[in-house]
Each structure stands twice: as C-alpha cells, then as structure tokens.
Amino acid sequence: MNHLSRRQMLHTASCGFGYLAMSGIASAATADLTARAPRLRAKAQRVIFLNMGGGPAQMDTFDYKPQVGKKPHAGSIAEFKRRGQSGLWVSELLPNIARHADKLCVLNAMTADTSIHAQSMLQLHTGDRLRPCPSMGSWVAYGLGTENMNLPGFISFNTAKPAEYSAAQLPSVFGGTPIGVNGEDMSKATISNIYSDHLPMSVKRRQLDLIQAMNRDHLNVRADDAQLEGVIQTMELGFRMQAAAPDLLDLSQESKTTLERYRVGKNFAAGTCKASDFGRQCLLARRFCEAGVRFIEITHGSWDQHTDHRRDLTANCATTDAPIAALLDDLDERGLLEDTLVVWGGEFGRPGLTPGQDKDQTGHQHRAFTFWMAGGGVKAGHVHGSTDETGSNPVDGKVHFRDLHATILHLLGLDHENLAVVSGGRRIRLTGLQGGSVVREILA
Amino acid sequence: MRRSSSPASSLPHIVSLFWLLVGISVNAADMTAEQRSFFESKIRPVLVKQCYECHSQEAKKLGGKLLLDAPSEMIAGGESGPAMIPGKPDESLIVQALRYDGLEMPPKKRLPEQVVNDFITWVKMGAPDPRVDAPKSAKKAVTTDKAALWSYQPVTNPRVPLVRNKEWPRHAIDSFVLAKLEAKSLSPTKDAAPEMLIRRVYFDLIGLPPSAGEVSAFVSRHLSFQQVVDELLESPHFGERWGRHWLDVARYAESNGNDGLSRNPSFPHAWRYRDYVIRAFNEDMPYDRFITEQIAGDLLPADSEAQRDRQLIATGFLAIGAKPAKAMNDNFEMDVVADQIGVIGHGIMGLSVGCARCHDHKTDPIPTRDYYALAGIFKSTETLWGAAAHQGLTAPQTPLHELKMAAKVAVRPEAEVIISKHEPRRPPAKPAFKYAADTPLAMGVREAKTVVDCKLNIDGESKKLGAPIPRGFLTACGGIDPGIQIDAKQSGRLQLAQWLTSKQHPQTARVMVNRVWQHLFGEGLVRTPDDFGITGERPTHPELLDHLATRFMSEGWSIKRLIRDIVLSRTYQLSSGNGDLQSPEAAENRLSLFGAHRVRRLDAEAVRDAMLAATGDLNPQPGQGSLIQHQNVLINELPPLHQPSTHRSVYLLMLRNSMPPELTPFNLPDAITVAGKRDTSTLATQSLYLLNNAFLVGQSKRFAARLMQVSDDTTTRIEAAYRQAFARKPTDSEMHSARDFIRETDLMLVSTQNDENKRLTDAWAAFCQALLASNELRYVD
C-alpha cells in the first residue's frame, strides 16, 4: 500500500520528543507505556492534581484581601494568619493545610480566558476550551511512560466529563482511567470489572492473545486506523491492570489512624458542597502515586458557591483540608514529595462579597485567582504573583493556564514546545498555538 | 452551572466623573422652569451619584444593559424592560427598584424615603428631562455577520452543482458531495464491497447485524440494495434504533437523577414516552407532527381515546427532564421551565436559548426578553412529573395524565423483591393524588389554571422581577408566519409548535436532517448537532444541508423518506477504505468531505444488541413496560435494580446516575442535557468490561452451549461460531488459531476442572468470549 502510515507520519513530522515517545509504541504494542527518560533534567517524576472544580474563593483561602483605605471594598471574609517560617497567609478555614505553609508555592495571580465553567475546566485540562485535545495527564503519560506497566499512566477520580481525561489525538492508551464519574458515590467508586475469576489468569492471557490476533487482522485490512490501534493497546493495558489495581483500591489494610487522618468516609455535604469522600480520594492518590502512576487527578467539584457563600465555603474547606494535609504529611514522610508535584486549583476563582450589602453571594472571576503547588522542584514557602487590593486583577506575576502547563511539563523534564503530535495536518501541543512560558521564578 | 451574580455587585468601586457627559442644553420646549429646577436639584444629582457608575456610557461594565444617562434610553430600557413609563410611577421599574420592591437599586443601600418620593413625583410629572441623548454606543450590538448567523437565514433550495466527473453521481446528494471534493482536487474512494455495505446498512437502519442468510441473499444478488433498504425501513426494529437516537435528544430517563441533595426519585411512567417515540418512528410520523404532539399533544383534537392517550404521553417530552431540588430553591419553577426551553432550544432548533435566562446571549442574537417570552408559555403550562418519590424536598407532588385505553400494568416482582426490603430513610409524604391501583398513567403537561406572561427574572433570579414579557418566540428567527398569534387564554404551546414547524423556520428542518446525516455517516454536515449558533461549527456543505432540509419539508417531513434518499446515494455506499492517498492531510480532507465512509464504533446499545444477536440469545420482541413501573422510590437509597434481560438495550432501565452496567462502558449520555452526538473514546475500562463483565461471560457460555449442540466436530463448530458472530466463514488461518486455542485452553484447564465435558465447554466459552470481545463485532465500516 502506497501511503504513509500514521506512525510514519509522526516520524516525518518529527516533533522532537513526541516522536521519541511514539517510537516506543511502534517497536512493540506492549512497550507503549514503558518508562523513558525525559529530555530535560527532571525535578518531578509524577503529579497529583487536586482539582478544585467550581472556582474556589481565593480571597478566603490564600489571597488575603483585608479592608484597606476608607471606602469598604470586596475582600476576604475569612480570618487569615501568617503561617510557618515563611509567613505565608493562609485562611483560618484551612488549619491543617496551614501547617504545611512552608511547603507551598502559592500562585496568586493565575488568570484564565473565560468564566464559563465547562470551557475553562476544559482549558485547564487540555489547553483548549472548545475542541477536543489531549488532557494534561495524557501528555505526561505520553511523554514519560509509566513506572508501573500494570497500571495506566493517568488516573482520574470523580471527573465531570470524559473530555477532561481524554487522550484525544494521542494514542488511546494514554487516556485517563476514570474512577467514579460525576455523581457517583465516591466512597464506593472503583474501576468497573477489574476482577473476575471465571477463568484462570493463564487462560485469560491466552484468550487475550487470540483477541489481539483477531484485532490485528481486522486492523491490517483497514489501512491505518488510529482508533483500532488504540483498542489493541488498551486491551493489553486493561488486562495488566487486573493484576495490580484491585489491591491498590482495597483500603482494608490501612490502619484506623490512617483512615482517621485522611477522614476516609467522613462525608460532608451542605449546600453546594457535595459528598466526594475526598479523604478516600487523597488516600488512594497516595497509594497510586507510590505504585508509580504518573498523573493522578482527584476532584472535589463543589466550589461553585453562589448563594450562602459562608456556609458553603466553610463546608468545602472543612471537607478538603484534613485529607490534603494528610496526603502532604505522608508524601513528605515517605520522601515522595521531593519528586512528586502536588497541584491545587480550579477553573477560576470568585470575586469577594460586595461590602455593605447584606448578601451572601459571589460569582465567577477568571481574571485573578489562586493555585498552589508543592514538592517536585518548586520553591517552598513562596508566593508568586499578586493582585490589586480588591483581588480582582493581577498586579504582577500573572500566570495563565498555558504558563502553568509549560511549568508543570518543565518540572517533569518535558519541553512544552516540542511535546507535540500532528493530527490531520494540525500540530497539537498542551500549550496550544500561542504557547506558554515556564514560570522560572518559582523553580527551586 | 449556576447563575452568575449580579453584574452590579461585582463591580469595583470607582469615582463617578460623568458631569462632562451630561448635556446642558434644553430641548424640551414645554418644560417649565419649576420642572427643570426640580430635575436639576432632585433627580440629576441622584442619577449621577447613585446610578451612572453602572448605568451610563462610561460604566466599566454596563449593568443589565440599561443606560440612565439619556432620556430615550430610560424609556427604551435594558434587559429587564423599560426603566420608566412617564406618568406611571407604580409601573416604572426605576421606582420599584428604588423602593426595594422585588428589584433592589442601588444595590448597596436603599436610598432615603425622600429621594424615592422625589422620583415618584418626577415620573408623575411625566418625567421632564432636559438632558440630550448622547450618541448610542454599541451596547446592544451582537454580530450581524450573515456568515456567522448562517443558521438564522432562511432555508434555500440551491441548484444542484455541476461536476466534472458526470459519471459518478447517482443522486443530487452525490453531486453536492462530489463538487466539494473536486474543489479540493480530490475524488471519492471506491464503492463499498457488498459484505461491507449490507452490514453497514443493517446497523444504521435497525441497529442489528444481518444474519448469514441475509448477507448471502444480498451478496448473491437475490435482493437489490433498494429492496434491502425498503425491508429494513419496514422492520419494527427501525423504530428501536432511530427512536433511541431521539431519546438522546429528549434527555430520556426513568428517574430524576441527583437533585443536588443526593436524592434521585424514580419516574415510574416515563417508559410510556419511550414506547411512544419508538412507535412514532416505526409509523413514520411526519416530523412536524411529532414535534407538535410532544409540545402540545394535550391541545390537539383526537379521533379516539387511544389517540388522545398517545398525544398525552407525547407531552412527556417536556416533563422527563432532570430537576434540581425544590428545597431552599426559589427558582425551582423556573428551573423546570429552563429545562423545557433547553430541550426545545438545543434539541429542535440547535440553539443555546438557555444562555439568555440571566443575560442577553453573549454571542447569538437571543435577548433575555425572548427567553422570557418563551418562559411565559411554560409558566402558563402545568408540568406533570408525578410523585417525585413522595419526597417534598425534591419536588412537590403533581398529578399525572390518566390514560383511558392504555393497558394496565402492575408492579414488577423482580423490583418489588428489592424495594420491599428497604425502609426509606425519610418517611414518604402522603400521596397527594390517588389513583386506583394499576391505573395507566403518563407524565406530561397541560394548560395551567392561570395563563400569565412571565416577568423577566433579573440575573435569572425569580425574586428579582422586571417587566412582564408578552408570550412569544425568538425574534432572531424572523420572517415566520406573522399570523401565528398566541391567544390570551392559552399558554401558547400549540402556537409554539406551529412556529417551530413552520416551513419558514430557519433551524428546525436543518437540525433534523443534520441529525439523520450524522447517524448515517458518523459526522454531521454540521459537526455540532446541538449547536447551530455562533459558537457551533459551520456546515461543511451548506448547500447540501439546505437541499436536504428543503426536500425533507416538501416531502411531508418524512424521516423514512429522508433516510431512504440518503442511503440510496452513492456517497453513502462508499467504502471505508481511505488508505490509498499519499498525504495524511488529503486522506483527512476526503474523509471529512464524505469522500470515504468512516469506520465507526457501535454505540453502547448496538454493542450489546450485536452480542445478543451473535450468541442467539436476543429476544426480538419489544420489552414490556419498565422494572420500576408504578414504583415511586428514591433510586439512590436502593441497591441496583437492573436485572438480566435479553430484550434490546433500548428497553433496559435507564436511571439517571445509575445506568445499566451492561451499557455504561461505551459512552452513554448522562440524559441531563440534549446529547445529539455520543462520545466514542477508547478506554482501558472498556477492555476490562470485555474481559470480565458478567453479562459477557454469561453470554459466552450460552453461545458455547449452543455450539456444542450444533455438532461434535470442531471445524463445524468454529464455522458455526463465525457465521453466528460475523455472518461469514473463518479464513484458514482463523480456523487454525481457533483450533489451537480450543486445544490449548482445554489442556490449561486440566488442573482446575476434572469433568471433561465441563472443561471443554469452558474452553469453548473462552473462545466465544474472544469473538464477542473482538473489534470486528464492535466496529462497522
């Protein structure tokens, strides 16, 4: 057949590292997830993304905006204190995270393009707010492979939409494996069909070989269909997951103290704050992280506090504070924090409450909001970026999602300029056409 | 998605510097000196100091699109309607706002009583105003670019284009497609082989694979393609396939889904709407009639009780939506209305009308006024969702339509066993509406007791009311029969249906022909089937879209004729082979211009149905009723209710947030919003389903048991298995692999299974599972 296969196409389009990653797949279908050394010097080996969906109120968590001047203005309603050696401002609503202030690198001048939830959420995940593009986790798994061949490189807990963990134009095997889709009970969420004893493993393996042979025959007469190639790889991955995932998902061997520290099963629901068993998610994130998964996303998607701001804010903080602190404790204690990058934030933030108005209401604000990172090569006890006195606009150190993406990839030793694929004549990368800049000021 | 907060409350505080802007000259000749002095001393300073910050040309962010810095603008008003009616203080929004009566302005603090009284006096005087109208800014501008607003332009009937390769087209559709290909110097790929084509058209038209006999009848030319197509269009399975596509649009489900307080009440009668839709497709009900019955079936005359029943059931379309909890939700009633406007907007017109609930649409020409003109229609309509599990916090109980001729159905024992074991966590309220046991009931709508225009909800808050908006339709779709007038005593649903199905409506026909095209090709002519607005994609073949829409309407809105036209085109009958082009860009272009067919994964229902067909377990009879019929329960408090079934997937229990586990791995929609296009992502969890799921394992065993009956000979069994699963013979190498597999598996099982017969059955079952799990079963060319 006289045509360029997709593999050849990726080769000739030679997008630097993108091609290197692909060549691993081309050599053998089973080698697709193999760990590979990044091009640049890496500080971090993996990422835990604490996805705070809905738009957390930055002025009541990390960006302290007390009343200044004569005229009252929008600002923080929560009390703040300086914490640790660094003197970082952290809200009293987050007493446990506050213990870790000296580990945090707070980005107070994050900025996004839109205040539409779905679009901004998609842009945070994929770099593009409209068209389907590979998710950040897929890029990381694609760039680095996995440290554990029996697990996917990217696991996504409690995400709202498949588009947020999709491999899109990347090979399907780099797509996120969802645990608990939106609305599911996160206390029970698991990987469906992970276990069955209807056949011994040896026969299952033999059976998979037969399926794969049939699938390859089917593919061979259909030119070069990326979709069908993707199925072959994910069949293999699914098979291997049976060996590792059931034990990882089983928390029965964890001590009572640990379950207590993470507040596993301690669900808290009030107003917008829905039960997400965030404690279980945090503990599972630690376990998957230890097992070598590259990118783990866990989600508490309840921060869209419009009415009853105070009540819902308190609930959202209370439900996430202790679990996150326990996760940071454990990562630190096990030496994992050194090469694990923890990222906290949502699709945008919120304006403060209007002063003098007896309303407990906020809206969306995408011009300025907060993210924080910890571990994996970022400065500790550091604040980057600031906003004006009402917290509504960045003053300096503005960081766009594109810059955040570039920085995360950089910390992992990946160059956002070159980590790309060509699909249908279009070159696709996480930082998009415009590209981002690595935020050098926060590199340790 | 929550409503955004009031723009005024999020504005930063800036010092007013607007004196420069205000005109000084006097133009109202009949204004007395006293009146002028009153305005200058009492009114102007207040406007400047208290209002201009958000309501003037200089405002950083204009509040509610209302300008108060020019007399004509005050009367013209903003999103909430006119701010002032001279001479009528009580009807003037500005006075209501100053009084903090429903609307509260200025938002920070109520102004002193004296100031409010001054404004009342001034409006009573007739609002004498010496200010000069400043030139209008672009505050109300939405784009007028016709290309961007393509879907709002009237449907045209374009000439069939001339093509260079005159031999190729068989049908007007082909000329439209070929012309686009030729413009890019591309030509279509080869025609599909008969084996490929027959399998494609079976799945596309009835959602099931052809049997080996049906394949050979076509391949050996005993039947022409046209004969095959006509047979399939008459099959009762046609409605099960195409009805399911519509159920995606109608966000169909049999429970409310999480109401935000984790409660998920059942909809025990929703399945009647499912059956109505399947029947409508089977009977080829004209699409305009289909829409009309779903929106206003209760208002249509009926020749018989049975017809009346059917039309009442049709209105379930407006009642089956997911509702947020009533508890602590002042907007509940308007949330129900929003769902109804949403499903009509996206589902029928391909427009995101819902954006205009809180503010004028940011991109499309849909002002908030239009939203509330539609909202009035539904506010004048009573929605009958039923008992909501008798949990008042979720939704107040409503009556239901009582059916006269429909068969009575009782609770199902399989569900009753599970449900009777569970105590509701919160005692259910007393039923407010009692029906004799087994009364056939249906969800739906009827006219409300009072018919009212809806007051505009400022920022989408039903406690912040603006002016009432006369019931009506979207102004931007213009040009539609002005004779359609809403009667003062009627909700206006019937007229809404007339307006939507008018042949002048620019979107209705286009949206539907595009949906049909997408289900036959894997992509629509517009790739965003639910968004024909500015944020959606433009059509790749605008002329073809209009050609099809025109034909669709002139041929009596017949879906079957439309499908028949398309599948008999040469374009539909192209091969999926697209590997003969040099450059990947050219191949991608050809595919996106329909110069080759797509390899498509079957949707979740068809995957399961194809498996049942392959194993011989499929029960082709329609599934009867629903597992939760006559069960008013909270789904979230119960263990899974799903039961094994061999009926087609469309009849499975479709509960929001608890969909059938046999379907969920393959991208089911959430049934909360209109889902005209399903996702087809490939995930490791799908592999796990294929390897481990109990349904698949069980089906493999039954498949194997059937093969064992066929013959004692391995070769014959393998041939039978391939014929059953793929309607073809195995190749020599496939035969070898299969034989090897059976032999080796049998040996591997020796250590765990002593009984030789059982061991052999297990080996065959493992082989059958491999067939069911292979790509050939799930993909269609």
Residue range B244-267: average pLDDT? 92
Tell me whether residues B682 and A9 touch, CB distance under 8 A.
no
B762 vs A362, more confident? B762
Quick one: which of B493, B536, B504 has its CA closest to B294? Answer: B493
Interface test with B, best of A1, A3, A126, A150 (most B CBs within 10 A): A3
Tell me whether residues B697 and A242 touch, CB distance under 8 A.
no
Tell me whether residues A211 and B770 touch, CB distance under 8 A.
yes
Interface test with B, best of A204, A227, A233 (most B CBs within 10 A): A227
Residue range B702-722: average pLDDT? 95
For residue B742, the cross-strand partners are none
Round to whole Å and give the CA distance between B80 and B202: 53
Tell me whether residues A192 and B577 touch, CB distance under 8 A.
no
B-chain residues within 8 Å CB-CB of A75?
A: none
CA distance B553 to chain A (A): 33
Write down the pLDDT at residue A5.
42
Tell me whether residues B584 and A74 touch, CB distance under 8 A.
no
Write down the pLDDT at residue A26.
29
Residue B496 has pLDDT above 50, yes or no: yes
Residue range A383-408: average pLDDT? 96
Interface test with A, best of B601, B761, B775 (most A CBs within 10 A): B775
Q: pLDDT class for B133, splitting at 50, 70, 90? A: low
The partner residue sitting opposite A227, judged by closest CB among B599, B691, B776, is: B599
Residue B136 has pLDDT above 50, yes or no: no
Domain boundaries, chain A: 6-442
CA distance B665 to chain A (A): 9
Q: Which residue of B has its CA nearest to A361?
A: B5
∠ at Cα B199 (B196, B203), nearest 5°?
140
Quick one: which of B632, B667, B669, B654 has its CA closest to B263? Answer: B632
Residue that has been written with the tokens 């007038």 in this structure: B485
CB A30 within 8 A of CB A145: no
Residue range B199-218: average pLDDT? 97
Residue B163 φ/ψ region, left for φ over 0, alpha for ψ in the -120 to 50 degree band, beta for the rest: beta
Write down the pLDDT at residue B1.
38
Among A346-350, B50-54, B151-155, B370-374, name the one with the lowest average pLDDT: B50-54
A6-442: CATH architecture: 3-Layer(aba) Sandwich (3.40)
Round to whole Å and give the CA distance between A121 and A76: 24
Write down the pLDDT at residue B479.
65
Q: In degrees to the nearest 10, what's the CA dihedral of B161, B162, B164, B168?
A: 70
Q: pLDDT class for B591, splitting at 50, 70, 90? A: very high
B-chain residues within 8 Å CB-CB of A130?
A: 535
For residue A369, the cross-strand partners are A110
pLDDT tens per residue, range A369-378: 999 999 999 9
The partner residue sitting opposite B766, judged by closest CB among A193, A196, A207, is: A207
Q: pLDDT class for A149, splitting at 50, 70, 90? A: confident
Residue range A81-104: average pLDDT? 97
Residue range B481-501: average pLDDT? 92
What count of other Cβ atoms lies within 10 Å of the Cβ of residue A182? Answer: 18
Interface test with B, best of A8, A198, A241, A302 (most B CBs within 10 A): A198
Write down the pLDDT at residue B135.
47
Q: What percent of chain B has pLDDT over 90?
A: 66
Residue range B161-175: average pLDDT? 97
Q: Which residue of B has its CA nearest to A160?
A: B670
Write down the pLDDT at residue B138.
38
Tell me whether residues A206 and B258 touch, CB distance under 8 A.
no
Burial of B164 (0-12, 13-18, 19+ CB in 10 A): exposed
Tell me whether residues A225 and B599 touch, CB distance under 8 A.
yes
Interface test with A, best of B361, B463, B685 (most A CBs within 10 A): B685
Tell me whether residues B262 and A269 touch, CB distance under 8 A.
yes
Tell me whether residues B577 and A222 touch, CB distance under 8 A.
yes
Tell me whether residues A365 and B585 touch, CB distance under 8 A.
no
B170 vs A7, more confident? B170
The three-state secondary structure class of A297 is strand
Residue B134 has pLDDT above 70, yes or no: no
Residue that has been written with the tokens 């294929």 in this structure: B690
Burial of B32 (0-12, 13-18, 19+ CB in 10 A): exposed
The Cα-based distances of B492 to B293, B489, B509 in angstroms read 14, 9, 21
Domain boundaries, chain B: 7-124, 692-780
For residue A420, the cross-strand partners are A429
Write down the pLDDT at residue B423.
86
Residue A76 has pLDDT above 60, yes or no: yes
CA distance A277 to chain B (A): 14
Residue range A63-81: average pLDDT? 91
CA distance A307 to chain B (A): 9
The partner residue sitting opposite B688, judged by closest CB among A175, A182, A192, is: A192
Q: Which residue of B has its CA nearest to A272?
A: B260
If you count residue pairs, one on A and one on B, with CB atoms under 8 Å apart, how many are there?
215
For residue A443, the cross-strand partners are A378
B-chain residues within 8 Å CB-CB of A362?
A: 5
Write down the pLDDT at residue B67.
85
CA distance B558 to chain A (A): 34
Tell me whether residues A214 and B781 touch, CB distance under 8 A.
no
Q: pLDDT class for B24, splitting at 50, 70, 90? A: very low
Write down the pLDDT at residue A425.
67
Interface test with A, best of B663, B670, B688, B761 (most A CBs within 10 A): B688
Residue range A121-141: average pLDDT? 92
Instruction: State the average pLDDT for chain B.
Output: 90
Among A115-129, B27-41, B559-573, B728-742, name the one with the lowest average pLDDT: B27-41
The partner residue sitting opposite B665, judged by closest CB among A192, A241, A424, is: A192
Tell me whether residues A3 and B107 touch, CB distance under 8 A.
no
Tell me whether residues A234 and B582 touch, CB distance under 8 A.
no
Cβ-Cβ contacts under 8 Å for A251 (sequence gap 6 or more): A259, A264, A280, A283, A284
Residue A63 has pLDDT above 70, yes or no: yes
A-chain residues within 8 Å CB-CB of B748?
A: 200, 202-203, 206
Residue B2 has pLDDT above 60, yes or no: no
Tell me whether residues A192 and B685 touch, CB distance under 8 A.
yes
Evaluate whether ipTM surpasses 0.85.
no
Residue range B500-510: average pLDDT? 96
Residue range B511-527: average pLDDT? 97
CA distance A216 to chain B (A): 9
Q: What percent of chain A has pLDDT over 90?
A: 65
Q: Which residue of B has its CA nearest to A71?
A: B13
CB B240 within 8 A of CB B206: yes
Write down the pLDDT at residue A69.
83
Round to whole Å and give the CA distance between B298 and B319: 13
Please list the alpha-helical segments (H only) found in B664-726: 684-692, 694-710, 714-726
Write down the pLDDT at residue A148.
87
A-chain residues within 8 Å CB-CB of B459?
A: none
A-chain residues within 8 Å CB-CB of B2?
A: 272, 304, 306
